[in-house]
């Protein structure tokens, strides 16, 4: 069974700092990996989706990488802003239709 782990569980950084969030998974036979943002009391917003054949995806200040063989993905956030404060979740889709989520990293960006 796929296990998805996100470290750290919580992170607090000063505004303007670059930061990296980590996601690891135990079964490398994935179809894709997706990073989400979740604000308190809200649903999930998709940030980036990386196909299993890709190494990275970029959107604005966000860059996600994927190393399928080692079971790792990172989400890099450049020049962090207070508005980036949220919980960040990663999810992997196995070659079936099952999705497995990590427990998330709660990010606080201090002005």
Partner 1 sequence: NAGVTQTPKFRILKIGQSMTLQCTQDMNHNYMYWYRQDPGMGLKLIYYSVGAGITDKGEVPNGYNVSRSTTEDFPLRLELAAPSQTSVYFCASSFFGGGNQPQHFGDGTRLSIL
Site residues for partner 1 per CB under 8 A: 4, 31-32, 34, 36, 41-46, 49, 51, 89, 91, 93, 97-104
DSSP-derived secondary structure for 27-41:
---EEEEEEEEE-TT
Q: Which residues contact 43 (CB under 8 A, 6 or more apart)?
A: none
Contacts 24+ apart (CB under 8 A), 40-48: 44/89, 47/75, 47/88, 48/75
Q: How far is the CB of 30 from partner 1 (least distance, A)?
A: 11
- Closest to partner 1 by CB, 35 vs 84, is 35
CB nearer to partner 1: pick between 58 and 103 = 103
Q: Looking at beta carbons only, is 25 or 80 nearer to partner 1?
A: 25
Least Å distance between CB 110 and partner 1? Answer: 23
């Amino acid at each position: 069974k796929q296990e998805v782990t996100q470290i750290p569980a919580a992170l607090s950084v000063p505004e303007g700092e670059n930061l990296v969030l980590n996601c690891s998974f135990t079964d490398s036979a994935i179809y894709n990996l997706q990073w989400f943002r979740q604000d308190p009391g809200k649903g999930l917003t998709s940030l980036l989706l990386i196909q299993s054949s890709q190494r990275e995806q970029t959107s604005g200040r966000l860059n996600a990488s994927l190393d399928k063989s080692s079971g790792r993905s990172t989400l890099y956030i450049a020049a962090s802003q207070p508005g980036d404060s949220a919980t960040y979740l990663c999810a992997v889709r196995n070659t079936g239709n099952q999705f497995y989520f990590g427990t998330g990293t709660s990010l606080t960006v201090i002005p």
